[in-house]
């Protein structure tokens, strides 16, 4: 495909809606990292995250005609992924998969890996809505208004939820690292 | 330890799905709608069904093992009771036989012993 990425996406979207499977596959490849990452950070389980991501793309395939633009597609994927993750966590108990012990594709780790691991664990332990807000804010880099739109929450609620979530994360992290220090010394 | 928003961004940076992810999605998309659902939402449910079936099979085999054990125990009890009854019967028969022998022997009269007072010796002289 030629042209700017946005034009490519518009074309792919139109062709996919007309039944072009290659165009649909290009949409999947373009958005798979985003969808999978939201699910993975939400569920902290690669297998469940891939299941959810597959289901999201399957639903997209069935509703392609409702998608109006690439921006709408990204918005729709984020909303559906978060909603499916929330459903998933309500249906199932959290499981620790063997794959979560080490992340094969995350070989390049900048910063403090211990801190990153603790942060991921603490985010995954947040209640559903708080977790969704934190992931959309810090993984997807959405601003508060965009998060409010995706999660269908009032803007002020998103603001307060984010503040409370960060406070909770700091408390949890201090407690966890305190326990580590206590165990070491 | 305090953390910055950059630390959080770093911790929550995007991750790649497995290598064949798009191919898996396309494989599901190319299937009829019924199959799509069965492969999509249901693998976990299937897993649950398999787990429940395994648990049920385990429970059934445990119950069968306990039942078999109890059956064997009961059979042994029955055999022991039968042996006990036979032993008692044998003792009763023996007792009756001994009684019978005792009565018969007591009925036979024993002759009185002959008294030797010396008269016979006088006649002989």
Among the partner residues A40, A116, A169, nearest to B10 by beta-carbon distance: A116
Is residue A185's pLDDT more than 60? no
Rounded CA separation A3/A5 (Å): 7
pLDDT surpassing 80 at residue A151: yes
CA distances to A19, A72, A123, B78 from A66, in Å = 14, 9, 33, 77
pLDDT of residue A73: 95
Nearest residue on chain A to B25, alpha-carbon basis: A54
pLDDT of amino acid A72 = 95
Of B8, B13, B17, the CB nearest to A36: B17
pLDDT band at A114 (very low <50, low <70, confident <90, very high): confident
Interface test with A, best of B9, B17, B27, B28 (most A CBs within 10 A): B17
Q: How many CB atoms lie within 10 A of CB A2?
A: 6
The C-alpha R_g of chain A, in whole angstroms, comes to 18
Question: Which residues on chain B are in Cβ contact (under 8 Å) with A110?
Answer: 10
CA distance B53 to chain A (A): 19
* Averaged pLDDT, A16-36: 94
Predicted local confidence at residue A49, as pLDDT: 95
CB contacts, 8 Å: A37 with chain B:
12-15
The answer on pLDDT for B69 being more than 50 is: yes
A5 confidence band (pLDDT: 50, 70, 90):
confident
Tell me: pLDDT of A4 over 70: yes
Both tokens of residue A133?
């807000």
Please state the length of chain A.
Answer: 185
A81 touches A37 (CB < 8 A) = no
User: So what's the pLDDT on residue A90?
Assistant: 86
pLDDT of residue A107: 42
The CA distance from B75 to the nearest CA of chain A, in Å, is 47
Query: C-alpha distances in angstroms, B84 versus A132, A133, B78?
Result: 77, 80, 10
How high does pLDDT run on average in chain B? 82
Contact, A150 vs A142, CB < 8 A?
Answer: yes
pTM of the entire predicted model? 0.64
> How many whole angstroms separate alpha carbon A139 and alpha carbon B12?
5
The Cα A134–Cα A139 span in angstroms is 8
3-state secondary structure of A20: coil
Annotate B84-122 with b (16+ C-beta within 10 A) or e (fewer): eeeeeeeeeeeeeeeeeeeeeeeeeeeeeeeeeeeeeee
Say if residue A35's pLDDT is above 70: yes
Q: How confident is the model at residue B122 (pLDDT cuts 50, 70, 90)?
A: low
Does A169 contact B8 at a Cβ distance shorter than 8 Å?
Answer: yes
pLDDT value for B18 = 93
Element (H, E) at B20: none
């Amino acid at each position: 495909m030629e042209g700017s990425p946005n034009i490519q996406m518009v074309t792919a979207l139109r062709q996919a809606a007309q039944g072009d499977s290659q165009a649909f596959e290009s949409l999947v490849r373009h958005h798979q990292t985003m969808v999978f990452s939201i699910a993975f950070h939400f569920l902290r389980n690669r297998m469940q995250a891939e299941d959810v991501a597959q289901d999201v793309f399957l639903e997209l395939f069935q509703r392609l005609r409702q998608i109006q633009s690439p921006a709408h597609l990204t918005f729709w994927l984020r909303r559906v992924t978060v909603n499916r993750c929330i459903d998933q966590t309500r249906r199932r108990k959290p499981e620790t998969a063997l794959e979560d012990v080490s992340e094969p594709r995350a070989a390049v780790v900048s910063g403090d890996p211990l801190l990153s691991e603790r942060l991921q664990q603490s985010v995954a332990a947040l209640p559903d809505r708080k977790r969704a807000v934190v992931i959309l804010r810090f993984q997807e880099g959405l601003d508060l208004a965009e998060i409010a739109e995706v999660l269908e929450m009032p803007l002020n609620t998103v603001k307060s939820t984010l503040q409370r979530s960060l406070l909770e994360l700091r408390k949890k992290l201090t407690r966890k690292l305190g326990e580590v220090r206590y165990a070491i010394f | 330890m305090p953390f910055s928003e950059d630390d959080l961004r770093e911790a929550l940076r995007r991750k790649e799905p497995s290598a064949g992810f798009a191919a898996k999605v396309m494989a599901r998309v190319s299937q009829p709608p019924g199959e799509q659902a069965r492969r999509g939402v249901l693998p976990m449910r299937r897993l649950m069904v398999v787990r429940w079936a395994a648990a049920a099979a385990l429970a059934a085999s445990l119950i069968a093992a306990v039942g078999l054990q109890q059956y064997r125990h009961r059979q042994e009890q029955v055999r022991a009771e039968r042996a006990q009854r036979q032993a008692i019967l044998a003792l009763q028969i023996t007792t009756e036989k001994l009684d019978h022998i005792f009565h018969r022997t007591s009925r036979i009269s024993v002759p009185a012993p002959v008294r030797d007072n010396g008269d016979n010796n006088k006649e002989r002289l």
